[in-house]
Structure 1
Amino acid sequence: MRTRRVLTTLGCALSAVLATAWTTTAPTPAPRPVTEVRTDDGVLRGNAHDGYRTFEGIPYAAPPKGALRWAAPRPAAPWHGVRDATRPAHACPQAAGEVPGGSTDEDCLHVNVTAPDGADPAHPRPVIVWLHGGGFTTGAGASYDAHRMAVRGDVVVVTVDYRLGALGFLAHDGLPGSGTFGLADQQAALRWVRAGIGAFGGDAHQVTLAGESAGGYSVCAQLASPAARGLFDRAIIESGPCTGTPDHPFAPSSAPLATARAAGEDLTAKVGCGGARDALACLRRVSVPRLLAAQDTDQQPAYDTPLLPADPAAAITAGRYHRVPVLIGSNHDEGNGWAAGIIQAGNPVTAETWPDVVSAFFPAPGQAEAIVRAYPVHGTDGGPVFGAVIGDADFACPTARTRTLLAAHVPTWRYEFADEHAPPLTSGTPPFPLGAPHASELPYLFDLGGRPRDLTAAQHRLADTMIDYWTRFARTGSPDGPSSPHWSRRTVQSLAPDRVAPTRTADLRHHCAFWDAP
């Protein structure tokens, strides 16, 4: 069996494959009627649709180029005349994947706004600010068409692009903001929302910060960041448990500043700046493609920093986080996508290979043996067992721990997305049925890549129910309401086409007593 490092790389590669599959670029649309809105920075021209309006590529900060590369976000410059906002701006630099052909344009700090028709200044709408996932290395706000959420839920949705990879999370000795530039961008976007969302009919005093995977973990980081105080009023965390740790390679997490700086030194040497008299000046001259080629596959925010003084897991364990209501959850089969990708890459999981597979991830003495006993593999079809270990250890049980810690101080609701026939996010046939894997809830909330997924009638009803829950939470601080199945704070709400109801067995199903044992 290959080393854990190789397995981690394969897992990250699978994340890119997933992104490619479920965010394919939509066909070029026919010309649409336009609409205009006046903001403090100038007039924007957007698209008018049936019942809603979209404004894309709105700058919320100055382009982080040249001397502003690896600097705190600065205010965007106002513009004269009418600025075109009818099409997405460039995504932040990243390799090809979710963004076809990738991106090398550092002028990428933009937001996209989707707002229902009929703005009433006397009755502004709640706002949901969405942070995309992608392992802090890929993703784009424009991948998430939010019109169903905006129209059905009567909310304004803002999707955000923030710096990724080494450009977003480089740490270097003497560099202010080391390891947290992407998080600082998210805060700048939230300040933009507080200051200007009223022009789009949004309520600057009802802002929900939401995200999935790395975006969900970003919400955790903002909950723990003193600099984010007062920037949002509620939080939604999808498949980004705040208590994830770096020794579990598939769940998003943060790293100590010392570790991040060591990775930064490696990058500096790789791009030829290790011996430069002024290494930062040298790094700022390196081309974006060269930086992308040299950066690690995995990226993490750094803590022990001014923006993130403590690991979010430690901060939340200690009760040091912003007191806002939280909706948090994970998917029933989070780990199956990674397990399938690793198997398809030539790493079979059988009764014979299973102990070596587990040892690659859990090298502590005695740990692998305990996992093999708790999760036995019989015969040659060990993929679902492998997926269960990844999902339980890295998502389901950390989500349960996070919910318990948050619920001690703030209203907290937990869900488990459990549609075992969720639309596949990849093409081709997986080596085993994936059930409800990582990211499979997203097509129920968004049209990914501008294209709706093929859903059955029951799945459409589930999508409507989820949007009702999410947007009611944004409006009231609670997803529960008379028009949807009752959701109790004391249980886990199972979200499936045939049954939206509380479940009390989720933690037992995911072996959380085993994973939580000291």
Structure 2
Amino acid sequence: MRRVVVVGMLLALVAGCSGDPAPAQAPPPGPVVTTDSGQVRGVATDRYRLFQGIPYAAPPVGGLRWRSPQPAEAWAGVRDATVPGARCAQRASAGGNAASTSEDCLFLNVTAPVAASPATPRPVLVWLHGGGFVEGAGSDFDARRMAVDGDVVVVTLNYRLGIFGLLAHDALTGSGGYAIEDQQAALRWVRRNAQAFGGDPGNVTLAGESAGGKSVCAQLASPSAAGLFERAVLQSAPCAGTVPSGLMFPGVPAFPQWPSVADREPDGAKVAAELGCADPATAADCLRAVPVNALLDKHDRFLSPAHGNPVLPFGPDPAIAEGRVLPVPVLAGFTRDEMSELAVVSHDLAGKPLTAQRYTELLREAFGPAAEQVAAEYPPSRYASPSQAWAAVSTDRVFACPAVGYTTRFAARMPTWAYEFAEPGPPVPGMTFPAGAAHAAELPFLFPNFDTTAPALSSRMIRYWAAFAHTGDPNRPDQPAWPRYGPGATALRLAGGGGLVDLAAEHRCGFWQTVPDQTVP
């Protein structure tokens, strides 16, 4: 399935100049830290220390492709940790995401405030990047301001993506969950090594956005993640329900957010056959010999972890509903206009602008007999264009109301705080209506450019997130109060004006409870 990723992190690649090489000069001495695999040298300023490209597991190449992550091999001497490691194998995207053909990619990065030390450790915030499980890297995020202003140690990491991290095939042990296993391997590395960097290994917050937030849901439901983190942050995390036909990606049939391994194995067998590995007796070895580029041609056929394997024995959706999740404080939320940009990219900018008639057809495709009911609740006449109406439908049905549901369930069992990011973004060329606060719009506020002055909202959000990492409660005396979430409670609106918002009312969640899920083929 082809997938257009709307919001990506733009990677600037700086090429070296041609000509005679300059005389070699010894690099300035940087801080050296001893990990359980060897020593690493990073860079330091008077405000932070930064270490990049640290391996947390062995390269999953050759015979280790589609196996559980193995321990990183120890090294002699001091390893350079001043540049990021390779991105996990992925294709370039329309959002500016850089391509990679590397499977040797299980690296992490550590950013620590300069005052953090083994004697005075700070809380650790582990960040899982988004990108639809097909793109992205930990190094896309500049964590320096979060570390310095929040007084936390930030760890960002890579994990296997697409077919490399999510392939389900009955010839492979643990299939469908290698990406989730990678994340747990990184969390175990943090438990063993955080203190050496000035982090508190007993005070870890696991956070992520989009696919990263969905990964946090998986970790909350994974028995093998018990004891690896003390709090959880879920940002725009599609953790529950099904996606109706065509609602997220044009022409794509309805699909569950959490497929089972049994559901995905036929897809894996089909892909294996397409790659010349149809024989079940030899499929595992055959697939491990397939060139990376051939696998990348099938990369986005696998867009979600599957359950029914050792790392995720049951689906997070029922686990959340039944309270079978790790009992840790939760901070969760989404952007007000999650699907605004995707609606335009998938239709208007693809040369198929939505008309009122086409809007009606899409509603029939997505909701069948309930289409007229949805059209009455979201009439095109209420919006600037049919595309904006479609964006409102998809935002509320795919992101907002499922998030209200699982956040309410979390709140019944553990301390929970909810937010809606509502700060409008800049105009987007080609859009027929304002983008508003689209998917991933909050990320530049949490991970702003360290070398520029951060907006007031950015500083406020960093303080909230950091306070949650420090204490399990985002409130602090110098910030507007953030009430705990619960049935009938309001969420914090993160925007220039601030305030509180009734998420269920704003996104018509009472209405969506009356619309049945479409049957998944």
Count of equivalent residues = 492
In the other structure, the counterpart of 1:358 is 363
User: Is there any run of 5+ residues in structure 1 with no aligned partner, and where?
Assistant: none
1:502 maps to which of 489, 497, 500: 500
In the other structure, the counterpart of 1:23 is 10
Q: CA deviation at 1:430?
A: 2.3
Q: Is the 8 A contact 2:52 2:83 kept in 1?
A: yes
In the other structure, the counterpart of 1:345 is 350
Q: CA deviation at 1:432?
A: 2.0
Specify the SS of the correspondent of 1:360: helix
Cα distance 1:35–1:120, how it changes in 2: closer, same or farther (>3 A)?
closer
Distance 2:235 2:513 in 1: 21
Q: CA deviation at 1:176?
A: 1.2
Report 1:252-291 matches (<5 A).
253-275=257-279, 277-291=281-295
Q: CA deviation at 1:381?
A: 1.7
Distance 2:28 2:498 in 1: 38
In the other structure, the counterpart of 1:69 is 65
Question: TM-score w.r.t. structure 1 length?
Answer: 0.90
Q: Is the 8 A contact 2:66 2:178 kept in 1?
A: yes
Q: Is the 8 A contact 2:145 2:450 kept in 1?
A: no
1:79 maps to which of 59, 75, 82: 75
Q: CA deviation at 1:361?
A: 2.7
Q: CA deviation at 1:27?
A: 5.1
Q: CA deviation at 1:472?
A: 0.2
1:376 aligns with 2:379: yes
1:199 aligns with 2:199: no
In the other structure, the counterpart of 2:21 is none
1:294 aligns with 2:298: yes
Question: TM-score w.r.t. structure 2 length?
Answer: 0.90
- Please say which of residues 202-211 and 50-59 is displaced more in the overlay: 50-59
Distance 1:228 1:475 in 2: 20
Distance 2:387 2:334 in 1: 20
Q: CA deviation at 1:295?
A: 3.3
Residue-by-residue CA offset, 1:281-300 (whole Å, 9 max, x unaligned)? 11000001100102334511
Question: Identity of aligned pairs, percent?
Answer: 48
Residue-by-residue CA offset, 1:395-452 (whole Å, 9 max, x unaligned)? 11111001111011100000000002x246x6x34232100000000000114xxx56
Q: Is the 8 A contact 1:254 1:300 kept in 2?
A: yes
- Please say which of residues 273-282 and 389-398 is displaced more in the overlay: 273-282
In the other structure, the counterpart of 1:471 is 466
In the other structure, the counterpart of 2:391 is 387
Report 1:128-147 matches (<5 A).
128-147=125-144
Q: CA deviation at 1:122?
A: 2.9
Distance 1:317 1:279 in 2: 37
In the other structure, the counterpart of 1:218 is 215
Q: Is the 8 A contact 2:177 2:305 kept in 1?
A: yes
In the other structure, the counterpart of 2:103 is 106
1:58 maps to which of 40, 51, 54: 54
1:322 aligns with 2:326: yes
Distance 2:45 2:99 in 1: 28
Cα distance 1:99–1:231, how it changes in 2: closer, same or farther (>3 A)?
farther
1:480 aligns with 2:475: yes
Q: CA deviation at 1:329?
A: 0.1
Distance 1:453 1:242 in 2: 35
Q: CA deviation at 1:112?
A: 0.6
Cα distance 1:461–1:47, how it changes in 2: closer, same or farther (>3 A)?
same
- Please say which of residues 39-48 and 400-409 is displaced more in the overlay: 39-48
Q: Is the 8 A contact 1:350 1:380 kept in 2?
A: no
Specify the SS of the correspondent of 2:297: helix
Residue-by-residue CA offset, 1:106-128 (whole Å, 9 max, x unaligned)? 11011011111022333210000
In the other structure, the counterpart of 2:313 is 309
Cα distance 1:380–1:334, how it changes in 2: closer, same or farther (>3 A)?
closer
Q: CA deviation at 1:69?
A: 0.4
Q: Is the 8 A contact 1:443 1:452 kept in 2?
A: no
Q: Is the 8 A contact 1:177 1:307 kept in 2?
A: yes
In the other structure, the counterpart of 1:167 is 164
- Please say which of residues 463-472 and 262-271 is displaced more in the overlay: 262-271
Aligned Cα root-mean-square deviation (Å): 2.3
Distance 1:54 1:252 in 2: 39
In the other structure, the counterpart of 1:367 is 370
Specify the SS of the correspondent of 1:357: helix
Cα distance 1:399–1:214, how it changes in 2: closer, same or farther (>3 A)?
same
Counterpart amino acid of residue 475 in structure 1: H
Specify the SS of the correspondent of 1:18: coil
Report 1:434-453 matches (<5 A).
434-447=435-448, 451=449
Distance 1:297 1:229 in 2: 30
Distance 1:486 1:26 in 2: 42
